[in-house]
Structure 1
Amino acid sequence: MARWYLLFLILLERLQSINMLWGFKMKIIFFLLLVSFPSVVYSKVFVNDHGHIEYHGVITESKNVTAFTLFEKSNAKPKRIVISSSGGAVESGIQLGEWVRENTLDVEVGEYCISSCANYVFIAGKDKFLRRSSFVGWHGSLLQMRQLPFVSASYLKAVDDYSLSCDLSELRARYGSQFEFPVSSNHLRECVLLRELGVDYRVMILGQHSDHYESIKHVGLWSYSYDALKALGVNNIILTDNIWEPPLYVGDQKIFYFDINSLAFFKQKKARFIQSG
């Protein structure tokens, strides 16, 4: 059942994303899933008994405001946000990630943290807590290509150069016609957030490269091992149960996890991939 539950969460994220186009037939199918599995859309923000902010469901501006207000009104400021989210609109995800960073909050992943939650919130935590079965999944960024997979290693190099300067002009001149999403102010906010966190921007697009796309295209997302995350600059990960055993499947499809060995190709393209632990 856990395999299919994760599948429903991923489908929910895709339906709710403002950048995804869904056909009428898919919406009908997903409506039936929601009726059958209402827990998939559980959505709430509150302060729990431990004084942590709990954030459940799709990331939205209104729920962000609720979290911000709870924080400001608390006499003893929460030091951790516990989140289970399938993602949400890019702008809302960045907004929440920026707030987490500005307030030096820890982030604990409950059941899952996918898409905008992984891209911007999980990585922003001062310390990042993972439970034994917590799942963290990526499936793209604002700089992903319209046609996937992308083959060019030079694009990865260009994205890396951009991530250090956050000046989009050269990358846009070379590849702008191939971007899936129109350039907006969110591109700069996204880049600045990851740069300030010291996280390799390509954590959000590596699975879309041709070397590994066959392994992820049916699931539509990928994840990373503990050591691979550290190699990508996602540091201060704490395993609450001293072990991390995230789901290996979505439905009947196996999830691809990058490990240090599968990052070998990209190590040649980027000096930042020099530490594995």
Structure 2
Amino acid sequence: MSGLKSTPLTFIIVSIAFLSGCSTVFPNLKQKHFVYLSDKKMVLNYTGKLNQKGLEEFRETFYSTKPFPRLLKISSVGGSAKIAMDMADIMLENNMDVHINKMCMSACANYIFLAGNRKFLEKDSLLVWHGGIQDITQVERLYESAIKNTKEKGQHTDYDLDEHSRNQPKINMSLQPSDLAEDKFNDHEQVKQKLLEKIQEYKETDIPELRIRSQKMYAAINVDPLIAVYGNYQKIPNPNTDTEDYYYNISGMTGFYYSLQDLEKMGVSGIELLVGKWFPNYPTHTFKVDMQKVEHQALPRL
């Protein structure tokens, strides 16, 4: 039987990547997360991917420490948007500051960085965006790709991609053993059908709820809700064709970033530069957004 292992599966996953390969092009940041206290328990450190286990450790460490830590020091390539929003809620409720250690990408930039009361940047801290659930056009494009891939070959593995995949960040949907009878695990067509149903359910239920929650957070902190998507609507030179195209159509490109001035215009306040200046060495597979070149008429309407 092609495409499906004969051994029982622990998880069956469909991964819809907002961008593939972030952790492969930023290899110095390990996938495993680390949560610990420092500086007389006033600093809560988080390094690695934003996942459920990390959230549980973050929450337990925060609430079990008295007084509560005042600062979150983080370095992350991102992960689950929901997890990032859960962490951001705790930060906002407790007026926490945030310190970007090495990098803050994707869901980390979308929510955790923005939730900080004061936002401390080291001279080389990287802030990288590449879209999000605010952009319904991007979500539709990714779902179409997921459905196509599932129909053609299915998506399955014997471990949880939410913990081990190299493709970051993504939306993950899991089928647990309770979703499929054990004796049907080897029926490829039934597995694919279950996955397609899961995709549709996630699209119709989870994504709308997350979009509303995201918009409410941006409104609460007075930040432009399109901050995560402007770069999706600017064409840049494609070195492979000598033409211009959107970054997500260019092989190897992974995301975009902004100037401090543009971040301020979008409502991002409280940024403090630890050495008085910020000159991150952004890799060539990212690009700086030029707000004058963004196709504003094509931006999603929220």
- TM (norm. structure 2) is 0.61
For the residue of structure 1 that corresponds to 2:78, the secondary structure is coil
Q: What is the match of residue 16 of structure 2?
A: 19
Letter in 1 for 2:82: E
Q: Distance in 1 between matches of 2:67 and 2:222?
A: 29
User: What is the CA deviation profile of residues 57-102 of structure 1, one whole-angstrom value per residue up to 9, with x for unaligned ones?
Assistant: 0111221221222222222321100000111111111111111111
Higher mean C-alpha displacement, 228-237 vs 38-47: 38-47
1:242 and 2:276 correspond: yes
2:69 aligned residue (78, 81, 88) = 78
User: What is the CA deviation profile of residues 20-58 of structure 1, one whole-angstrom value per residue up to 9, with x for unaligned ones?
Assistant: 2999xx8xxx6xx99xx6752352001113520000101
Letter in 2 for 1:235: S
Q: Give yes or no for contact 2:234–2:295 (8 Å, CA) kept in 1.
A: no
Task: State the superposition RMSD in angstroms.
Answer: 3.3
Report 1 or 2 for greater relative contact order, CA contacts < 8 Å, sequence distance ≥ 6. Answer: 2
Q: What is the match of residue 107 of structure 1?
A: 98
User: What is the CA deviation profile of residues 179-214 of structure 1, one whole-angstrom value per residue up to 9, with x for unaligned ones?
Assistant: x95543111111111110111011111011144583
Q: Distance in 2 between matches of 1:257 and 1:116?
A: 18
Shift in CA distance, 63/268, structure 1 to aligned 2, threshold 3 Å: closer
Letter in 2 for 1:232: M
Q: Distance in 1 between matches of 2:56 and 2:281?
A: 31
- TM (norm. structure 1) is 0.66
Q: Distance in 1 between matches of 2:29 and 2:85?
A: 25
Q: What is the match of residue 215 of structure 2?
A: 191
> Aligned pairs, how many?
209
Aligned pairs for 1:162-241 within 5 A: 182=204, 183-212=207-236, 214=245, 216-217=247-248, 218=250, 219-241=253-275
For the residue of structure 1 that corresponds to 2:35, the secondary structure is strand
Higher strand share: 2
Structure 2 unaligned spans of 5+: 1-12, 143-201, 237-243, 298-302
User: What is the CA deviation profile of residues 87-123 of structure 1, one whole-angstrom value per residue up to 9, with x for unaligned ones?
Assistant: 1111111111111111110011010000000001000
Report % sequence identity.
22
User: What is the CA deviation profile of residues 202-230 of structure 1, one whole-angstrom value per residue up to 9, with x for unaligned ones?
Assistant: 11110111445837344221011111110
Q: What is the match of residue 194 of structure 2?
A: none
For the residue of structure 2 that corresponds to 1:45, the secondary structure is strand
Higher mean C-alpha displacement, 95-104 vs 208-217: 208-217
Q: Distance in 2 between matches of 1:100 and 1:82?
A: 12
Q: Distance in 2 between matches of 1:186 and 1:85?
A: 21
1:266 deviates by: 6.2
